[in-house]
Amino acid sequence: MSTRVDIPKGKKLNKYGDLENLELTAEDWITRWEKKHIGFHKDEIHRLLQKYLPNILNGRKQISIFLPLCGKSLDIKWLHDQGHNVVGVEISKTAIEEFFTEQNVSYTQDLVPEIPGAEVFKSSDHRISLYNCNIFNFSSLIAGKFDGIWDSKSLVAINPPDRQRYVKHMTTLMAEGCCYLLDSCTFNQDQIVGPSCNIRLMESLDALTQQQISWGLDSFIEEIYLIK
């Protein structure tokens, strides 16, 4: 006798066999981290960040770089080690704690008075600050505007109905001369064309691996954009 699982509309079975919403809420992301369902995390520094960092820097040294939806990316520590000030925002406290523990960076933890319920985790040299809050509650009043932005799988992690709002929100965090490096996959370009930004596709590559094949995809194109 075979058993059939009815999958409700708007949900899918993830690779762990759990029913998951197609559009992830903040709570869903927090649960994913708690259950260690973090297939998106890579234990390596992003190759394309290393390649295109000079485009973010544009000749500048020791700049402030923002990583929206940063997870526990190794890129945070790498950018810090290059001499930059790094600010990240991440909804999962587990992710932030794991970052500091796994990277062996000592830190302090404080409340952020401007954002109810938010906390900031700072490295002891104060050059890494990771804010545990929703990106939409984070503003330039908290940590100023940034000289550079590294967006790795962040725009794509935002639910499609919120992407336009996310793009507008990110432009409010860009200082004069800010360079925004975006790692994404093919999506509707209309959603990233901002009135004040110049967008250049730097590289487009076939990034199909077993991971995407297991999601049922037969093509997966990674794209790197530089936005000024």
Rounded to a whole number of angstroms, the minimum distance from the CB of residue 166 to ligand SAH is: 8
90 or 147: CB nearest ligand SAH = 90
In the bound complex, what is the minimum distance in angstroms from residue 177's beta carbon to ligand SAH?
Answer: 23
Least gap, CB of 35 to ligand SAH (angstroms): 12
Q: Tell me, what DSSP letter sits at residue 170?
A: H
Report the alpha-carbon distance of residue 198 to residue 179 in Å, rounded. Answer: 10
Closer to ligand SAH by CB, 160 or 177: give it.
160
Amino acid symbol at 14: N
Q: Which of 220, 190, 210, 225 is nearest to 55 (CA)?
A: 225
In the complex with ligand SAH, which residue's Cβ is closer, 136 or 177? 136
The minimum distance between CB 26 and ligand SAH, in angstroms, equals: 5
Residues whose CB is less than 8 angstroms from the CB of residue 90 and which lie 6 or more positions away in sequence, other chains included: 69, 70, 71, 72, 96, 130, 131, 132
How far apart are alpha carbons 168 and 163 in whole angstroms?
9
Nearer to ligand SAH, 91 or 112 (CB): 91
Q: Which residues bind ligand SAH (CB under 6 A)?
A: 26, 29, 33, 40-41, 69-71, 73, 89-92, 95, 134-135, 152-154, 157
